[in-house]
Structure 1
Amino acid sequence: MNPLLDRIQTSLLDLVGQFIQLLPGIVIGLVVLLLTRYAAQVAQRVVRKMTQRLVPSRSLQLLAVQVTRIGTWVLGFIIAAVVAFPDLRLGDVIGLLGLGSVAIGFAFQDIFKNFLAGILLLVEEPFRLGDQVMMCDYEGTVEAIKIRSTQLRTYTGEMVEIPNAIVFTNPVRVLTAYRSRRTDLDIGVDYTTPLPLAKQTFLAVVSRAEGVLSDPAPEVDVVGFGDSSIDFKVRYWTTPHIGDVRRIKSQVSMALKAACDEAGISIPYPIRTVHMFDQTQFNESERLTNSADVRDGAR
């Protein structure tokens, strides 16, 4: 047992000695990582200022900043590993990173999928920061496009984070992609109303409403005959932001109601006609009894 204990003791002393020899390098490596954190912050600020001057797209500015941060940290880790383990050559580090990337890729494939989708979203720019969009049953303003997810602020003040892979592979409605947006407003009039009068009245109201664009011009069309009204559809264009759309729609609705009152145009309630009649005339059992009595009398 003594030779075995001596061998274990010798091995432990060797490990302790190697650790003591590596300790300065490990400490320096930790210092390098701390400096890397500071360097990443400085590099992000520098790249942000440069891209703001040279690159007009906010999405590409964000992409450049995020790539700079990741690249700085990767470089810092490589330097720290080489300093902490002097026998480890740069080629060995790159080889380990290559082998590790395969294993990490299988383990974190969803994360890398979102990462690549985030880069494609920032490069292709199907929507931009500040756009109002509808995606994955959510509607709101795009607050940030990160490497992993897209942040959406709903109109009720809630923050929603949607993975970039889902955003990239699903339809997205960009409500502020163009300078104007159309609103369709339904209104019905009584069947006794002269239709040309109603159309001219509605068109005049919507044309002079504040916030309604003259190009494209507003339209008023008869779209159908309802149960109790002749249905019109008023179409007009406004700036695309939801706040303007809602405010102008409210103003146009109130103006249409006031114009109908002034012109004597009736907006009818749903009408139901109820016919009352004497049920005894349709009493089947009494009719059958009377018929039987007549037959018996004839016999």
Structure 2
Amino acid sequence: MTELLQEIKLSLIRLTGSVIESLPGIIFAIAILFLTRYVANLTKRLATVTGKRVLKSHSLRSLLTQISYVASWVAGILFACVIAFPDLGLGDIVGLLGLGSVAIGFAFQDIFKNFLAGILLLLNEPFRLGDQIIVNEYEGTIEEITIRATQIKTYQGERIVIPNSIVFTSPVQVLTAMPHRRTDLALGIDYNTPLTKAIDILVKTVATVPGVLPDPLPEVDAVGFGDSSIDLMIRYWTKPQKVQVRQTKTRVIISLKTACEQAEIPIPYPIRTLYYYNNGQEGEVFPPSPGTDLG
């Protein structure tokens, strides 16, 4: 029993001595981590300034900044490990990372997937900051593209953070990719209206609405015979931003209604015919009583 206690005592003495011996290295390693934080922020600022001077693409500038920041932290952590544990060389650390890469890959596969997808999005630039996009059921303006997620701001003022892997593998509708965007607006006119005259009036009216672009020119097509009207489709172009499309559509509707009233072009309500049967006897049809709403 005495020998066991003596052995435990010697082990504790050796452990304490090892800790005391390694204490300067550990303190120095902690100091290196604090210094790494300063160097990483400095590297990030330098990369931002350099990217603005050298690269025209905002996405590539963002990629350069983020990779520089991450690389500074990785280098600082590796250096701190070498200082804190002198017996553990850089080659041993790299080997340890290689042995643990499979386990790390399984544990952090979603993180790595988002990381790679973010790099590909920043390199390929299918969309840019400020673009308005639709991803799955989310729609809004892109605020930031990081190496982990894409942030969009909805039209209601909400922020949506979408993992890059979802953005990369999902269909993305970029609403502001082109300099102009078309809106299709349906309108029905009475069957007794001269069709050619009505179309000419509608085209001229739409062309004068603020927000409607002169090129391409507005168009009005007859698309079918409705139950109570000739169905027309008014097509015009605006700037692609959502606010431009929405506000211009309101002005177009107001202008078209005013033009139809001035030109005496009726916009008919749906018409229904009602048949009245006497006591369920078939064959007796009576006209509706005066004042009955047939709409």
**Structure 2 length normalisation: TM-score?**
0.94
State the match for 2:249 in structure 1.
249
Letter in 2 for 1:187: L
Residue 94 of structure 1: how far off its partner (Å) = 1.4
Residues 181-217 of structure 1 show CA distances to partners (whole Å, capped at 9, x for unaligned) of: 0000111111111111110111001111112112111
Q: What 5-or-longer segments of structure 2 have no aligned partner?
A: 284-295
Greater gyration radius: 1
Letter in 1 for 2:174: V
State the match for 1:295 in structure 2.
none
State the match for 2:82 in structure 1.
82
- Structure 1 runs of 4+ off > 4 angstroms? none
State the match for 2:192 in structure 1.
192
State the match for 1:122 in structure 2.
122
State the match for 2:275 in structure 1.
275
State the match for 2:53 in structure 1.
53
Q: Where do residues 228-247 of structure 1 align in structure 2 (5 Å cutoff)?
A: 228-247=228-247
Q: What is the number of equivalent residue pairs in this alignment?
A: 283
Give SS of 1:233's match.
strand
Letter in 2 for 1:63: L
Note if 1:174 corresponds to 2:206: no
Give SS of 1:188's match.
strand
Give SS of 2:139's match.
strand
Q: How much identity, in percent, do the aligned residues show?
A: 55
Give SS of 2:276's match.
coil
State the match for 2:293 in structure 1.
none
Letter in 2 for 1:72: S
Superposition RMSD in Å: 1.2
Letter in 1 for 2:225: F
Q: C-alpha separation between the residues in 2 aligned to 1:209 and 1:9?
A: 92
Q: Which moved more, 1:17-26 or 1:84-93?
A: 84-93
Q: C-alpha separation between the residues in 2 aligned to 1:12 and 1:189?
A: 96
State the match for 1:226 in structure 2.
226
State the match for 1:217 in structure 2.
217
Residues 97-132 of structure 1 show CA distances to partners (whole Å, capped at 9, x for unaligned) of: 222332211111111111111110010111111100
Q: C-alpha separation between the residues in 2 aligned to 1:119 and 1:224?
A: 49
Letter in 2 for 1:155: Y
Q: What 5-or-longer segments of structure 1 have no aligned partner?
A: 284-299
Q: C-alpha separation between the residues in 2 aligned to 1:240 and 1:224?
A: 28
Give the structure with the larger helix fraction: 1
State the match for 1:15 in structure 2.
15
Letter in 2 for 1:242: K
**Structure 1 length normalisation: TM-score?**
0.92
Q: C-alpha separation between the residues in 2 aligned to 1:117 and 1:282?
A: 71
State the match for 1:163 in structure 2.
163
State the match for 1:262 in structure 2.
262
